[in-house]
Amino acid sequence: MSKSGLPSIWLEDYSSWGEWDSVRADVAANSLLLNEEDYLHIHKPKRFSLRAFCSCCSEHRDMTFDWSLTFAGNGNLYIAWTELLLCQVCGMNSRMRAVWDFVANKLELPPGAKIYLPEAITPGFQQWKRRFPSAVGSEYVSPDVPAGSLHAVGTFSNVRHEDLTQLSFADDSFDLIISQDVFEHIPDFRSSFAECCRVLRKGGKLLFTVPFFPDQKMTEIRAILLPDGSVHSDFPLEYHGNPMSSGGSLCFQHFGWSMLDDLRAAGFSQAAAHNYWGPTFGHLGSPFFVFTATK
């Protein structure tokens, strides 16, 4: 049961490919049932609103759905559920609200906790800043500016520049790091895991989302940054939305279960995938995960 008094969205936790592989046939069968139930929600006009509880607002809100983030493949229609069902008040989509729910219902953090997010100009960061007034945010401004320097970005002033592979923060600076769909855009993602571990206090957590492919044992490297700055890829280049660039950000990898091993190799004592689902909270589609790593 969540603090809202409604059923929890959290289903099961997995710490390795082996744990997942032992149950994935059953999970796949259950996911078919969950997705059939979800179909009842989307068998509606092209655009509609679902009334559900928003963990960020702590209120029932209308959450919007349209078909703009869907794609076809292998004869099937795939819906980008993690990016959809935006709360019409706070603006957070499904995966963002799942992260918020995890902090609210699974972590005991006071308002004065020290948290860091590698985002600063997003509406989501403003929500986290409201909850944790001392929260520090950053954007990747340019490779040519010093880490920790401040810059004007659009209508924003004093935007901090940080490179997740070379953070300017001291060791043991934060209780929590929240990263939302960032690591897939970092060629040397293992160095960014190590840096996050370095700047967390003992017992601190890295809490994050990434595009994740649960049928992949290994992370698939889709693009490589060469020493001269050019990109090599044997796949079609894939770009995702980026608030800092109208051209988007290149996706360098599709993460699989080996990501949890990479987190432990980077110095974290524990790493886990947390499976969530729940129409009551506006989370449709299955399976989707939020990830944690504990120092």
Residue 265 reports pLDDT greater than 90: yes
pLDDT in the model for residue 286: 83
pLDDT in the model for residue 35: 65
pLDDT in the model for residue 12: 95
Structural domain 10-294, CATH architecture: 3-Layer(aba) Sandwich (3.40)
CA–CA distance, 242 with 250 (Å, rounded to integer): 9
Average pLDDT, integer, range 243-256:
92
Q: List the beta strands (DSSP E) in the chain.
A: 10-14, 48-54, 59-65, 70-73, 76-79, 86-87, 115-117, 136-137, 150-153, 156-160, 174-180, 200-209, 220-221, 224-225, 231-232, 239-242, 245-250, 253-254, 270-278, 283-294
What's the whole-model pTM score?
Answer: 0.94
Structure tokens given for 71: 């794609």
Average pLDDT, integer, range 216-222:
97
pLDDT in the model for residue 43: 58
Ranges 83-87, 203-207, 243-247, most confident = 203-207
Distances in Å between the Cα of 84 and the Cα atoms of 29, 69, 119, 180, 237 are 23, 8, 20, 15, 23
CA–CA distance, 259 with 291 (Å, rounded to integer): 10
pLDDT digits 0-9 by tens, 271-287:
999 999 998 999 988 89
Ranges 74-83, 236-245, 262-271, most confident = 262-271
Chain centroid offset of residue 70 CA: 19
Classify the phi-psi angles of 282: left when phi > 0, otherwise alpha if psi is within -120 to 50, otherwise beta: left
Residue 47 reports pLDDT greater than 90: no
Residue 26 reports pLDDT greater than 90: no
pLDDT digits 0-9 by tens, 104-153:
999 989 999 999 999 999 999 999 999 999 999 999 999 999 999 999 99
Burial class (CB in 10 A: 0-12, 13-18, 19+), 118: buried
Which has more confidence, 77 or 7? 7
Residue 96 reports pLDDT greater than 80: yes
CA–CA distance, 172 with 199 (Å, rounded to integer): 5
pLDDT in the model for residue 27: 84
pLDDT in the model for residue 289: 98
The three-state secondary structure class of 155 is coil
